[in-house]
Amino acid sequence: MDRLENCILKAYLESYRGERKGDKWEEIETIKNYILNGKKIVVATNNLNKFRIIRDILIEKVYKDKDVDISKVDIPTEVSDLTRMPVLSKGLMAVDTTDAHIVIARGRLGVPGSGSMLLIMDGKGRILSGSLSPPSVIHKRSIEDTVREELLEALKRIGI
């Protein structure tokens, strides 16, 4: 069992025993290290513009001197908009169709008008970090700026 699984198991057992009092620094460090040591990153989009923004930030801020494979899925992720939580469905599409260590998904949070979310997931579909944006008619920013801000916020939440 690797470090992330041990961390999850320990937290589950603490919750079961009623001992869990919140997140711990070692848990955050475990997530951070898991992401930093990822070798194959898949972005769950077929939108080349969104992919480039995410890839460029990952190369600049996370994997600058590391040998990593960053790719996008080659399936129509638009079908995820027919689900209750499109962003999660996109991420799980990438989990189910690739051998990624890290999956990054960005899309609508829930029903139309609910805003957007970016998720960073592991290869088993477990959420490692994420961020939210309000509906675009409220924030009025470009899609590029919104995706950039969401990814940077998701990374910042775990100390990257």
If we measure between CA atoms, which residue out of 101, 96, 107, 100 comes closest to residue 131?
107
pLDDT in the model for residue 1: 53
Residues in contact with 121: Cβ distance below 8 Å, sequence separation at least 6, in sequence order: 91, 95, 102, 103, 104, 105, 127, 128
Tokens of 7: 């961390």
Q: Would you state the pLDDT for residue 23? A: 96
CA–CA gap between residue 55 and residue 47 (Å, rounded): 12
Give how far Cα 134 sits from Cα of 11, 112, 124, 139, Å: 31, 12, 28, 6
Per-residue pLDDT of the chain (160 residues; tens, 9 = 90+): 599 999 999 999 999 999 999 999 999 999 999 999 999 999 999 899 999 999 999 999 999 989 999 999 988 999 999 999 999 999 999 999 999 999 999 999 999 999 999 999 999 999 999 999 999 899 899 989 999 999 999 999 999 9
User: What is the arrangement of strands in the sheet containing 127-133, beginning at the earlier edge strand?
Assistant: 69-72, 40-44, 102-108, 116-122, 127-133
Q: What is the pLDDT of residue 136?
A: 87
